[in-house]
Chains A and B, each alone.
Chain A
Amino acid sequence: DVKVTQSSRYLVKRTGEKVFLECVQDMDHENMFWYRQDPGLGLRLIYFSYDVKMKEKGDIPEGYSVSREKKERFSLILESASTNQTSMYLCASTKHWVHTGELFFGEGSRLTVL
C-alpha cells in the first residue's frame, strides 16, 4: 500500500516560532503537495513540488516555504508562526500527472499556534 506519513499529528507552537512539518512517501512519487484544511473553506493548496528541488506556489503560499531535497520527503516551513496559521495541514503525493486524480494523502498535522 502507498503510504504517506506526516511526522506529527498534533503540534502546539507559540507565535513567532519556526515550525517544520515533515512528509514522507514510500512509493517513488514525483509529485508532492501541501494543503491547508479549514472548516468551511475546504482544502487550499499551499505549495507543490513535481521533482527534487523543484517547487511551485499554490493558492495561498504567503507565510510558508517548502523544501524538497530528496524525492520521498517534502517539508513545509513556517518561518514565523502566527495565530492565523492554526489549521490542519495535509500532505499528498501522486505518481502521475494530477489529472489522473489519484492523490494519496497523509493523516494530517493539526497545528495550533498560541
Chain B
Amino acid sequence: AQSVTQLGSHVSVSEGALVLLRCNYSSSVPPYLFWYVQYPNQGLQLLLKYTSAATLVKGINGFEAEFKKSETSFHLTKPSAHMSDAAEYFCAVSDFSGGSNYKLTFGKGTLLTVNP
C-alpha cells in the first residue's frame, strides 16, 4: 500500500518567511499526490494536487508544490508566510493497492504556526 510521511509535526515560521512543509511518499506506481489544509474548527479543503502533468503545481493562497520522482517527495512551499496561513496541512496519496482506486491515504499532518 502507498504511504505518506510528513517530516515535522509542527513547523513555526515568522510572518514573511519562507514556508516549507515536507512530504515523502512510497509508491510502486506513479502516484497522484495532494495537499489539504485544515483551518481551526473546520474540515479539510484541497490546496493543490499533482496528477502526472506538470511537476510544479500551483495551488490556492500562493502555495505550490514540486513533484520529485527521484526523491519521492512532494514538498509544499510558500515564499512569504501570512498570519492567515496558520493551519494544519496534510499530504495525501491515492492508494491503488489491492485494485482499489477509491482511497486517499493521508499523512499525519503538520501544524504550521506563523509568528508576528
Contact = CB atoms under 8 A, between A and B. Distances in A.
B104 A42 contact: no
Contacts of B92: 101
A42 B43 contact: no
Contacts of B74: none
Contacts of A92: 43-44
Interface residues of A, number: 26
A38 B13 CA distance: 24
**Which of B44, B100, B108 gathers most chain A CB within 10 Å?**
B44
Given A101-B34, A101-B49, A107-B42, A40 B108 contact: yes
A45 B103 contact: yes
Contact of A98 (B44, B103, B107): B103
A43 B106 contact: yes
A42 B94 contact: no
A35 B104 CA distance: 11
A102 to B, nearest CB: 6
Given A40-B108, A99-B94, A105 B103 contact: no
B101 interface: yes
Given A90-B44, A98-B94, A103 B107 contact: no
A12 interface: no
B51 interface: yes
Given A40-B9, A56-B102, A101 B94 contact: yes
Contacts of B101: 97-99
7 contacts: A40-B9, A42-B107, A42-B108, A99-B51, A100-B51, A101-B104, A103-B44
Nearest 3 CB-CB pairings of A with B: A105-B43, A42-B108, A99-B94
Interface of A: 4, 31, 35, 40-45, 48, 50, 56, 58, 90, 92, 97-103, 105-108
